Chain A
Amino acid sequence: DSGVTQTPKHLITATGQRVTLRCSPRSGDLSVYWYQQSLDQGLQFLIQYYNGEERAKGNILERFSAQQFPDLHSELNLSSLELGDSALYFCASSPGQNFEKLFFGSGTQLSVL
């Protein structure tokens, strides 16, 4: 158990809808990272937040957004969903901001029908 909690574990929705994925980092970790893993695109880094502020950005679509709250949990919002958004979304946390000592959650499997 990494200490990183992602909810829900599975999510099934329809095209055009909006969903929110939640991540609770390990106790004491200030950074939260979001990743997307899909079959055709492999693993992609989406975005990082550190202590409430955006720290790094990867290949995140404009339809996607994220935020980190004062209690350090994070939410990833996916809107106007398309079939291609179906993927496994991982969250990770780390104590610092430099992509080190990452601890990963078990992921949320999103299926867009």
Chain B
Amino acid sequence: AQSVTQLDSHVSVSEGTPVLLRCNYSSSYSPSLFWYVQHPNKGLQLLLKYTSAATLVKGINGFEAEFKKSETSFHLTKPSAHMSDAAEYFCVVRTLRSSGTYKYIFGTGTRLKVLA
């Protein structure tokens, strides 16, 4: 069975310090993986995606994630946090059903707090 686990429900960092948001997945097949960000009272925005190309994926706003198959992880990182990064982040795994349609599984989200 496919699943995705975001290991931290809340993360607090100081402005200017690195960000690490952890995501582990379980999938019988080679998955596609995504990170989305949701700012308060707004919709989701795609940060980056992995679809079996380069394992180190660079996204918007300085974020990047590395797909590690041996560790079944897809952690999101950023070298230096900005106040505007404070938001909810979702890790998503997409797999293909035998019917040919996609199945999307969302993590429960990690709330990032950035301290001045």
Binding site for B on A (CB under 8 A): 2, 4, 35, 42-45, 48, 54-58, 90, 92, 98-107
Interface bracket on B: 20 to 34
Q: Judging by beta carbons under 8 Å apart, are B108 and A56 in contact?
A: no
Binding site for A on B (CB under 8 A): 32, 34, 38, 41-46, 49, 90, 92, 94, 101-109
For the complex, give the distance between the alpha carbons of A58 and B109 in Å. Answer: 17
Q: Judging by beta carbons under 8 Å apart, are A104 and B109 in contact?
A: no
Dominant secondary structure of chain B at its interface with chain A: strand
Q: Judging by beta carbons under 8 Å apart, are B34 and A99 in contact?
A: yes
- Can you give 16 contacting A-B residue pairs, CB < 8 Å? A2-B43, A35-B44, A43-B44, A43-B90, A45-B104, A54-B101, A55-B101, A56-B103, A57-B103, A92-B43, A99-B32, A101-B46, A102-B44, A103-B43, A104-B42, A106-B42
